[in-house]
Structure 1
Amino acid sequence: MTPLRLVFMGTPDFAVPSLRALADAGHEVVCVYSQPPRPAGRGQQVQKSPVHRFAEERGIPVRTPKSLRNAEAQAEFAELKADAAVVAAYGLILPQPILDAPRLGCLNVHGSLLPRWRGAAPIQRAILAGDAETGITIMQMDIGLDTGAMLLKDAVPITAGTTASSLHDALADMGARLIVEALDGLAAGRLTAEPQPEAGVTYAAKLTREDGRLDWTRDAASVERQVRALTPWPGCWFDAPTPTGGVERIKVLKAELAPDPRKAAPGTLLDDRLTIACADGGVRLTLVQRPGKAPVDGAALLRGFALPVGTRLGDAACSAGN
Structure 2
Amino acid sequence: MKYYTRLVMPLLVTLALAFSKFYYGNISKDWEGIWAYLPHITTVLIVCGFTWCLLVLMQILKKIFIKQYDISQEDNLKARKVLTQINMMVKIANFMIILLGIGLILLSFESVRKVGVGFFASAGVAGIIIGFSAQKAIGTLIAGIQIAFTQPFRLEDAVVVEGEWGWIEEINLNYIVVRIWDLRRLVLPTTYFLETPFQNWTRTSADLLGSVFLYTDYTVPFEELRKELDRILETTELWDKKVKVLQVSDAKEFTVETRILVSAKNSPTAWDLRVFVREKMIEFIQKNYPESLPKTRVEMTQK
* Superposed pair shares fold, TM > 0.5: no
Q: TM-score, normalised by structure 1?
A: 0.28
Name the one with the larger strand percent: 1
- Normalised to the residue count of structure 2, the TM-score between the two structures is 0.29
- The structure with the greater share of residues assigned to helix is 2
